[in-house]
A and B are shown apart, each in its own frame.
Chain A
């Protein structure tokens, strides 16, 4: 695959504008706490979740709220902050050291995380929603590897951060009654140095073997463990930073990759940085697709967009809109495919992945490619039919809640059925329904 980012890290200056994108945080219902023109400091609450007011989202920058963008049905797309020149105002939080952590009650610790506005780094399976603070998770999964193309390499973002990671793991240990599972692949174990020694689980195989849901699927022993929580390694560093230093984290390591990206490497940037800071639009033709996040799960954005809260990468790939002449009879030396129907199978060179659909929407032909690639051994073609037929019992039995939303099934489908998007929508709908029932 063409487009992997180099390991070099460049520290970029603070940009003029920084944004928080509420509608890129799944499940939440934001209630704004600021209006356009309000002054804000780093750590000042910008919005909270209507479902649980303790879930606060704090400002990653100091300055004034320049603009609040609304999407359809008054969803909040972006809160853009014009950064103050010079020193930004900042709200400080209490410090916590190792002894303090050891002596602390779970409830107190949770209170600190909630107040520090970083509860969002924790998420609960199976819905990947912010967890209920009152619930004690059976297990917490922490994934370091980054197998989705292209995410920051753990050996880059964990460099010299082993102590912070260790602190983060201790925090998680307080939150769960069960184990904290730190996993990565065998290669990164060797590369990570001291952090590698902390691993409790090694994953094998290609993406998405490093997804917490996929790991859980393989290690769970009973149904109670379905409600495990997870944190990504990069987010855990943010959490540890907040507690340790008493300051809102404002920077993270971001990878820029993809076949069309002008410079492919890692950057140290502000949270919510504008995408134009990461790739110079002047060096692009304007037709490329900007994907925030990995190629398979990220969302499409543009040069005017910003980094999302969870996202750690920007991928720029050719949109590739010209129809292929004689595509049907092309032996396909350079055509990536999961199937064996292209000569690219034998091509050792990295291939370019564009955004073309390479086919038309058709009925399922039962080729079973989707079932072959699913990391949690679902039968996506059958789940899809069950969802269309609204057979709730059936699709739950078939494992819809195990789905890790990896997108591989939709990638391989020759009939170009939007399998993974359908599953994501069905899972969200089911999660909403369950929440309704609880109320």
Chain B
């Protein structure tokens, strides 16, 4: 027999009802699932069942997030070296980035999964695999300089308040990773916004600085002089189209590369894991609002008005939000039709928040949370329309 299987079989007895570890049975199950699919068979019709499990569904999302994580490590290192005036070299940068990023990821998993275990033991629900995705998403949307204790606090808030108080996965209507992020944003604005948080400090020993100030593209745009072109300002700050698309600029850890998000989105759509309806809605919403503002732009209006709409897709974590956050199926509407509208409205709101409320440049984060709240309402409308199309059968 497979030795790993033997190990799990041997340990299984400790988690049986009545044994000291019985309450941790969901934890045991989730660990076992890493290695083994369940041997359970159906008790009733339909006798065969689909090979797809929730575990696999979630695992695929995590898989597509890994490139963002590795790129994030590299980019954090790159930006820090740039700021410190060090010559860029691949391995030291990656190592530095990993040293900055991995602790945040580990903290996120420890606390996210930890809370899940606690709640699964108390409320006797199984470990929801969603938490593995949440714990991966969360660090990727943090600034690299986030203090560890804040990361711990944020993920705890996200999992506990964003999810568990509503009854756990499936009943939560907010995206837990974003809830945690938004909490930090409002509770600790100093560490979460401004120009100084997006670049990790690479200490070279001699001229140790406390913080490196490098504006993100979102912050650069409003600084465009009146009548100037926002795109030009961006380019002048070193953020030309290619840089923005590839993601070599200071930003949240894993959210900067539009290219990797695009790949992730395409793969997830092809696999049928992400809803293309939401993504199409998002993109159309952003472009439509962007064009509308272009039309309204005058010489005195804020620079955001005249920004080429496509740029909205490249900056401020839009791509990451679109690919991985809006497509969270639980916090999105639960009908196909409403998902288009949901995406479209998120797109519109994202642009509007960026333009009209420069205090919150992270438009997409707030837009998604806001629409999470309204998703049930959209569903109600969609279901109402569907019911009206049916020939009643009561």
CB pair A421–B44 under 8 Å, yes or no, is yes
Query: Quick one: which of B34, B47, B126, B335 contacts A361, CB cutoff 8 A?
Result: B126
Chain B residues bordering chain A, tally (CB within 8 A): 59
- Select from chain B the residue with minimum beta-carbon distance to A224: B391
- Select from chain B the residue with minimum beta-carbon distance to A352: B48
- Select from chain A the residue with minimum beta-carbon distance to B26: A360
Mask: chain B, 41-64; 1 = CB below 8 Å from A; 0 = not: 111111111111111110110000
Q: Does B29 contact A (CB under 8 A)?
A: yes
CB pair A412–B55 under 8 Å, yes or no, is no
Instruction: Name which of A35-43, A244-252, A277-285, A336-344 contacts chain B.
Output: A336-344
CB pair A328–B39 under 8 Å, yes or no, is no
Instruction: Name which of A8-16, A66-74, A398-406 contacts chain B.
Output: A398-406
- Asked, given contacts A324-B36, A341-B57, whether A355 binds B42 with beta carbons under 8 Å apart, the answer is yes
Q: How far is the CB of B125 from chain A (nearest CB, A)?
A: 8
CB pair A358–B35 under 8 Å, yes or no, is no
Which residues from 278 to 321 on chain A have a C-beta closer than 8 Å to any C-beta of chain B? 289, 291, 293, 295-300, 315, 317, 319-321
Instruction: Name which of B14-22, B103-111, B266-274 contacts chain A.
Output: B266-274
The complex places the Cα of A356 from the Cα of B37 at a distance, in Å, of 10
- Asked, given contacts A341-B272, A358-B53, A362-B128, whether A411 binds B170 with beta carbons under 8 Å apart, the answer is no
Q: Does A397 contact B (CB under 8 A)?
A: yes
A-B contact count (CB 8 A): 224
Q: Does A366 contact B (CB under 8 A)?
A: yes
Chain A residues, Cβ within 8 Å of B49: 355-359, 410-411, 413, 416
Chain A residues, Cβ within 8 Å of B89: none
The complex places the Cα of A299 from the Cα of B55 at a distance, in Å, of 29
The complex places the Cα of A368 from the Cα of B40 at a distance, in Å, of 24
The complex places the Cα of A399 from the Cα of B41 at a distance, in Å, of 30
Select the residue from A327, A336, A337, A362 with max chain B CB neighbours within 10 A: A362
- Asked, given contacts A366-B334, A381-B334, A399-B390, whether A414 binds B57 with beta carbons under 8 Å apart, the answer is yes
The complex places the Cα of A361 from the Cα of B170 at a distance, in Å, of 12
CB pair A335–B51 under 8 Å, yes or no, is yes
The complex places the Cα of A314 from the Cα of B214 at a distance, in Å, of 71
CB pair A327–B50 under 8 Å, yes or no, is no
Mask: chain A, 112-127; 1 = CB below 8 Å from B; 0 = not: 0000000000000010
Q: Does B387 contact A (CB under 8 A)?
A: yes
- Select from chain A the residue with minimum beta-carbon distance to B384: A397
Q: Does A223 contact B (CB under 8 A)?
A: yes
Q: Does B332 contact A (CB under 8 A)?
A: yes
Query: Quick one: which of A315, A340, A353, A379 contacts B335, CB cutoff 8 A?
Result: A379
Q: Does A203 contact B (CB under 8 A)?
A: no
Q: Does A407 contact B (CB under 8 A)?
A: yes
Q: Does B129 contact A (CB under 8 A)?
A: yes
Main secondary structure of the interface of A (DSSP, over half): loop
CB pair A358–B126 under 8 Å, yes or no, is no
Chain A residues, Cβ within 8 Å of B124: none
CB pair B392–A223 under 8 Å, yes or no, is yes
The complex places the Cα of A401 from the Cα of B392 at a distance, in Å, of 9
CB pair A336–B271 under 8 Å, yes or no, is no
CB pair A296–B46 under 8 Å, yes or no, is yes
Chain B residues, Cβ within 8 Å of A328: 33-34, 37, 53, 55-56, 59
CB pair A340–B272 under 8 Å, yes or no, is yes
CB pair B48–A336 under 8 Å, yes or no, is yes
Q: Does A420 contact B (CB under 8 A)?
A: yes
CB pair A366–B332 under 8 Å, yes or no, is yes
CB pair B383–A327 under 8 Å, yes or no, is no
Q: Does B123 contact A (CB under 8 A)?
A: no
Q: How far is the CB of B201 from chain A (nearest CB, A)?
A: 38
- Asked, given contacts A355-B41, A363-B168, whether A126 binds B393 with beta carbons under 8 Å apart, the answer is yes
Chain A residues, Cβ within 8 Å of B387: 397-398
Q: Does B295 contact A (CB under 8 A)?
A: no
- Asked, given contacts A223-B393, A339-B272, A379-B383, whether A357 binds B38 with beta carbons under 8 Å apart, the answer is yes
CB pair B171–A363 under 8 Å, yes or no, is yes
Q: Does B114 contact A (CB under 8 A)?
A: no
The complex places the Cα of A293 from the Cα of B170 at a distance, in Å, of 34
The complex places the Cα of A325 from the Cα of B1 at a distance, in Å, of 11
Query: Quick one: which of A220, A354, A360 contacts B29, CB cutoff 8 A?
Result: A360
Known: A396-B393, A421-B44. 19 other contacts (CB 8 A): A223-B393, A300-B43, A321-B39, A325-B5, A327-B56, A337-B52, A339-B271, A341-B271, A344-B51, A359-B37, A363-B128, A366-B332, A368-B336, A369-B50, A396-B394, A411-B46, A414-B53, A418-B44, A421-B45
Which 7 pairs from chain A and chain B are nearest by CB?
A363-B170, A327-B37, A359-B53, A407-B46, A353-B48, A324-B37, A323-B39
Residues of A in contact with B (beta carbons under 8 Å apart): 126, 220-223, 226, 289, 291, 293, 295-300, 315, 317, 319-329, 332, 335-342, 344, 353-369, 371, 377, 379, 381-382, 396-399, 401-402, 407-408, 410-416, 418, 420-421
Q: What are 19 A-to-B residue pairs whose CB atoms are below 8 Å? A: A295-B46, A297-B46, A321-B39, A324-B36, A326-B36, A342-B51, A356-B39, A360-B40, A360-B53, A362-B129, A364-B170, A365-B329, A379-B383, A396-B394, A399-B393, A410-B46, A416-B53, A418-B44, A421-B44
